[in-house]
Chains A and B, each alone.
Chain A
Amino acid sequence: MMQFMLLFSRQGKLRLQKWFSAYPDRVKKKTTRELITLVLQRKPKMCSFLEWKDLKIVYKRYASLYFCCAIENDDNELLTLEVIHRYVELLDKYFGSVCELDIIFNFEKAYFMLDEFLLGGEVQESSKKNVLKAIAAQDLLQEDEEPHGFLDELGFTSPNAW
């Protein structure tokens, strides 16, 4: 199973983290730091796989973002590369040519998308169409809800404000 997935920028800023097993916060922070340094050091033509502790790290860079997954010893490295690619495709399709900013500003969407695709460290639904359908259903529900305008932002919805 996949243990965790990290998205970080070329500058080493963490953009998304997903842990599929329970790790203490201290370990999460240390692991993240170590892996970001490790992966950023590597040169472009190098192999996408590396051994790290008792896990295998599979990473791939898309534009300014690195996608980095930690899998267990008997997991398939090549297919993990394609897990990353499929996730990128999903984001791309949803945001329409995704960029790092989309993930920063809509981080919650990136999480929801990941949940529909991977669950418990395993691929839940490999069909792009089905994942997007699930996300579209979510968006549909939210559009049914009352829209909020800028007045809400200013706190004018509460009766006390009048």
Chain B
Amino acid sequence: MPTVKGDGMRGLAVFISDIRNCKSKEAEIKRINKELANIRSKFKGDKTLDGYQKKKYVCKLLFIFLLGHDIDFGHMEAVNLLSSNKYTEKQIGYLFISVLVGASSDLMKLVIQSIKNDLVSRNPIHINLALHCMANVGSREMADSVGGDIPKLLTSGETIDSVKQIAGLTLLRLQRSSPEMIPLGEWTSRIIHLLNDQHMGVVTSATSLIEALVRKNPDEYKSCVSLAVSRLSRIVTASYTDLQDYTYYFVPAPWLSVKLLRLLQNYPPPEDPSVRTRLTECLETILNKAQEPPKSKKVQHSNAKNAVLFEAINLIIHMDSDPNLLVRACNQLGQFLQHKETNLRYLALESMCLLATSEFSHEAVKKHQDTVITALKTERDVSVRQRAVDLLYAMCDRSNAEEIVGEMLEYLESADYSIREEMVLKVAILAEKYAVDYTWYVDVILNLIRIAGDYVSEEVWYRVIQIVINRDDVQGYAAKTVFEALQAPACHENMVKVGGYILGEFGNLIAGDPRSSPLVQFQLLHSKYHLCSPNTRGLLLSTYIKFINLFPEIKASIQEILGSDNNLRNPDVELQQRCIEYLQLSTVASPDVLVGLHNITLLLFRSLAKLKKKKPTATAEGGEEKEKEPRTIPQAQVNNAEPSAPVPLQVSVGLPIGRSTARNRRLSVNLKMICSLMPPLPSFFFFFFLMKFEAYLFFYLTIIFLISRFFCKQNGVLFENDLLQIGIKAEYRQNLARVGVFFGNKTTFQFTNFTSNLVLPDSIKSGMYKNRGCILCKCFKIWCQSGQMQKLNLKLPVIISKFLEPAEMNSEAFFTRWKALSQPDQECQKIFKAQFPQDTEQVKQKVLGFGLSILQGIDPNPDNFVSSAILHTRNQQVGCLVRLEPNKQMQMYRLTIRSTKPEISKALGDLLETQF
């Protein structure tokens, strides 16, 4: 048993020895339980224990606790010790409280009472004990009830130095845990002046306190800057004998120096020129000293000296204003890059990352590129290599990007698994950011997938597709490269995804070469099909259907695959559905449908979030991307307005739903509606293109009714709630309509089950005209959020008036036609009360928005509107004449519509009536 210092509680030493002699964990637990039972009985026993015994048992409990066992008694005995008049008993009591008693304990009131008593003790050593306890526990309750006395203790001239020191840090701890409890307003100036204190220990402790206070309230403490600079100056110019015991291995007061340098990093460079000069001198002196031969060979000397140096460099980087100092700092760090101490190399790489971001020192950092690359390749410690990666990333610019990316790619082949993902991301970002030649970019990303496919996140491979789509000049190259990459016997699934996508879009660009003929491309992709996950297979199926469009000559081979048993009866519902739909589509659809399909997935990638630029620390920046890029707008054709000839329609609706990326969840859905005159078919076809959504809820767009909001405008929000926004964008030209439906996810989560469907009611089948000539839409939607199914019925605003084209005519022509349409059923007249203010300009906008012209000079009353328009259908054109007469006194309107078709007059009348 080693010597026990001090009074030595023999019983404790014996117990500790016993524990150490235990041969097994079980034996140890047995011994501990025995001891706990013993202590419990002593505490509960009738005999009153004396202070020494209480102290001993409390100390044993403490030891048991430190071994990792829970202690649920003895707290009261420890609190009793606090009021002992024997120092060692009090001390053990406080130790127990500091280590074991939580701030929320019921006993805290008693503890605080003891602290209060000890704080006013005449013996400073008792005051210190109480302060230590406060600094260790640091609870709000303490701050509230005794914290108020501390500032006085700290700044009073009567307090002895050792108490001041402890009071400073106690105040710091209380400020951290409950800053509002102790207002320091009146003490500010006195606290700042502690920086001038004679006693170095007091200054050291006060500097920590001031630094924390400055962070909360820099302006109030601004005057500390000049004091800190002069204190620092005195230290750095001191010889190592001046500061006696505050010199640490020949380095004068390293702790205080570092604290002062940190304090100054809370402020911009000093405005006062003399202070500024003095600070610059200090920093130069520190840099100079780094060049002097060491005063000792001990590592403590160099550590302490370099600690000050690194902190000075941090301050230089923080001020970022003196190019001379920045370049000197950079050179100094450059020397450390090749130092034999791993610690120094690590820190030098880390600090240089910051220097690389300063415009003054960026070039200076670049000089060390080769050394950093060597570090990346040769350092034995992965954490140092990680720093090298960070630095390469930080020093990269257009001039050295190719080399750095090349080196990083090379290193990636052997890189530690723990840093691969981050490296992949960094390479991808650098390649994109500094790409001059996009073929290089494509090569880099494909290499990334080849070397570290598992670590290439979706963001990265989505991004390469996005870029290829948007840059015509690399599409052919990308197709060729990806085709070659796929020829490798084993290639990563991500490569198959990118390959499938790019060939599906741009495979035609390389199809002229017999080595990459359509059939070869298809067979190559299909050779990977069975090795891939369902997700990738789904993507490949989409590629196949695009191939049918690109290369009609291989349609039969593809249909064979789509129709194979394996696919049509695939247990994966998603794949099964795709195969059935694609097969059906390839059989019945006109080439137009396929052309439309071609663009479907394209859209997704166009609107996908851009790859986030990551900082070297790999924390993603915020910033939600909200772009919507409707490229292909669905098309609806009004085929026939003939009431007597019911026309069956084939409607195909493609709803490709992209999987939103993890960070950006805005998804864009394109609705492709192609209504064309077809031979009678038994029913409609619905095609759902569901990419990667996991389940099967349905969203029906049913054409039934109109939405008045859209009568006078084409674009807008159809529906919006907390979860979802659905927008409509439409274009109409004569009898053609293109309607885009956009779905925006407003939540921060990904929709897990999101499906949509478009249903046309039977009435459409029998001709639109019967239904007042309008396409009436209804959307019916369900989705799942937090386990809750939600349905949504929505109407698509595709209405007959959208097919109006304004017509111009003169007064004479107007009246001739007006009179010609004088049969009673050709006219529809409505008299109604105004719902909106009768503002002429607004009414005019509405009339124009509705698709009518405004004819001037026909009605003598300038307030009245006279309009004409032609309604286009596929087979005929119907002329319409409209008069709208506001009566501002009565706030009424009279609306008269005449057209050759009575139904049209009535339909337009019903629509317009609701708008004014």
The segment from B169-177, B405-413, B650-658 found at the interface with A is B169-177
B369 within 8 A of A: no
B contact residues around A104 at 8 Å (CB): 16, 20
Q: Does B95 contact A (CB under 8 A)?
A: yes
Whether the pair B300, A123 counts as a contact (CB closer than 8 A) is no
The answer to whether B343 touches A76 (Cβ under 8 A) is no
Chain A residues lying within 8 Å of B304, measured Cβ to Cβ, are: 78-79, 82
Does chain A have a CB within 8 A of B11? yes
| A8 to B343 CA separation, bound complex (whole angstroms) | 22
Say yes or no for B488: interface residue by CB 8 A criterion.
no
B481 sits at the interface (CB 8 A): no
- The closest CB in chain A to the CB of B301 belongs to A82
CB–CB B4/A111 < 8 A? no
A95 close to B173 (CB less than 8 A): no
Chain A residues, Cβ within 8 Å of B1: 105
**Chain B residues near A1 (CB-CB < 8 A):** 208
Which of A99, A125, A141, A153 neighbours the largest number of chain B CB atoms within 10 Å of its CB?
Answer: A125
Smallest CB gap from B100: residue in A: A25
Contact flags B132-146 to A (C-beta < 8 A → 1, else 0): 100110110000000
A85:B2 contact, CB within 8 angstroms: no
Q: How close is B320's CB to chain A, nearest CB, in angstroms?
A: 16
Number of residues on chain A facing chain B (CB within 8 A): 65
B 300-311 binary contact with A (CB < 8 Å = 1; else 0) = 100110110011
Which residues of B are found within 8 Å of A128, using beta-carbon distances?
A: 245
B-side contacts of A81, CB under 8 Å = 303, 343
A155 to B16, CA, bound (A): 19
A105, A106, A125: the one within 8 Å of B201 (CB): A125
The segment out of B380-388, B606-614, B769-777, B834-842 that lies at the interface is B380-388
- Expressed in whole angstroms, the Cα–Cα distance for A51 and B135 within the complex equals 27
A22 contacts B383, C-beta separation under 8 Å: no
- CA distance in complex: A66, B95 (Å): 23
Complex Cα distance A126/B138, Å? 22
Q: Tell me if A105 and B13 are in contact (CB < 8 A).
A: yes
B132 touches A119 (CB 8 A): yes
Instruction: Output the least CB separation between A86 and chain B (Å).
Output: 7
CB nearest neighbor in A for B171: A120
Given contacts A47-B384, A129-B245, contact A148 B7 (CB under 8 A): yes
Residues 26-69 of B at the A interface (beta carbon under 8 Å): 47-48, 50, 52-53, 59, 62-63, 66, 68
- Evaluate contact between B2 and A76: CB separation under 8 angstroms: no
Residue B896 CB within 8 A of the other chain: no
Could you tell me the distance between the alpha carbons of A64 and B835 in the complex, rounded to whole angstroms?
Answer: 88
Asked if A50 is at the interface of the complex by the 8 Å CB criterion, the answer is: yes
Which chain B residues in 310-355 approach chain A with CB under 8 Å?
310-311, 314, 342-343, 345-347
For the complex, give the distance between the alpha carbons of A59 and B95 in Å.
25
Specify which of A1, A107, A115, A130 lies most central, judged by the most chain B CB atoms within 10 Å of its CB.
Answer: A115
- Tell me, yes or no, whether B166 is within 8 Å of chain A by CB: yes
Residues of B with C-beta under 8 A to A129: 245
B324 CB, min distance to chain A CBs, angstroms: 24
Which residues 172-229 in B have Cβ within 8 Å of A in the complex? Answer: 172-173, 176-177, 200-201, 204-205, 208
Asked whether, in the complex, the Cβ of B258 is within 8 Å of the Cβ of A76, the reply is yes
Minimum distance in angstroms from A99 CB to a CB of chain B? 7
User: Are B201 and A124 neighbours in the complex by a CB distance under 8 Å?
Assistant: yes
Q: Contact string, A51-92, partner B, CB cutoff 8 A, digits 1/0? A: 100000000000000000000001011110110011000000
A29 at the interface (CB under 8 A from B): yes
The residue in chain A whose Cβ has the minimal distance to the Cβ of B199 is: A130
Contact, CB under 8 Å: B125 / A112: no
The stretch from B246-254, B462-470, B702-710, B798-806 touching chain A is B246-254
Query: How far, in whole Å, are A76 and B265 apart by their CA atoms in the complex?
Result: 13
Cβ–Cβ contact A157 & B50, under 8 A: yes
Residue A134 contacts which of B86, B88, B162 (CB distance < 8 angstroms)?
B162
- Nearest B residue to A86 via CB reads B248
B474 on the A face (CB < 8 A) = no
Q: Which of B6, B11, B132 contacts A109 (CB 8 A)?
A: B6
Give B313 Cβ to nearest chain A Cβ, in Å: 11
Contact present for A145 and B86 (CB under 8 Å): yes
User: A77: which of B7, B92, B208, B343 is its contact (CB, 8 Å)?
Assistant: B343
Q: Does chain B have a CB within 8 A of A30?
A: no
Task: Give a binary string over A129-162; 1 marks a CB under 8 Å from any B CB, 0 the rest.
Answer: 1100010011101110101101011000110100
**Selected A-B contacts with CB under 8 Å, 22 pairs:** A14-B66, A45-B342, A47-B346, A79-B303, A79-B311, A85-B300, A95-B5, A102-B2, A104-B20, A106-B4, A119-B170, A119-B205, A124-B204, A130-B245, A134-B162, A138-B91, A142-B87, A148-B10, A150-B10, A153-B10, A153-B11, A157-B52
Identify 14 new A-B residue pairs, CB closer than 8 A, beyond the known A74-B314, A119-B166, A119-B205. Answer: A16-B66, A45-B342, A46-B380, A51-B383, A108-B59, A109-B5, A119-B170, A120-B138, A125-B162, A126-B201, A126-B254, A127-B245, A142-B6, A148-B10
Question: Which A residues form the contact surface with B (CB < 8 A)?
Answer: 1, 14, 16-17, 21-22, 29, 43, 45-51, 74, 76-79, 81-82, 85-86, 94-95, 99, 101-102, 104-109, 111-112, 115, 119-120, 122-130, 134, 137-139, 141-143, 145, 147-148, 150, 152-153, 157-158, 160
Closest 10 CB pairs of A and B: A78-B307, A120-B173, A79-B307, A127-B245, A119-B169, A141-B87, A122-B208, A142-B88, A46-B381, A47-B342
B-side residues, CB < 8 A to A, are 1-2, 4-7, 10-11, 13, 16, 20, 47-48, 50, 52-53, 59, 62-63, 66, 68, 86-88, 91-92, 95, 99, 102-103, 125, 128, 132, 135-136, 138-139, 162, 165-166, 169-170, 172-173, 176-177, 200-201, 204-205, 208, 245-246, 248, 253-256, 258, 262, 265, 300, 303-304, 306-307, 310-311, 314, 342-343, 345-347, 380-381, 383-384
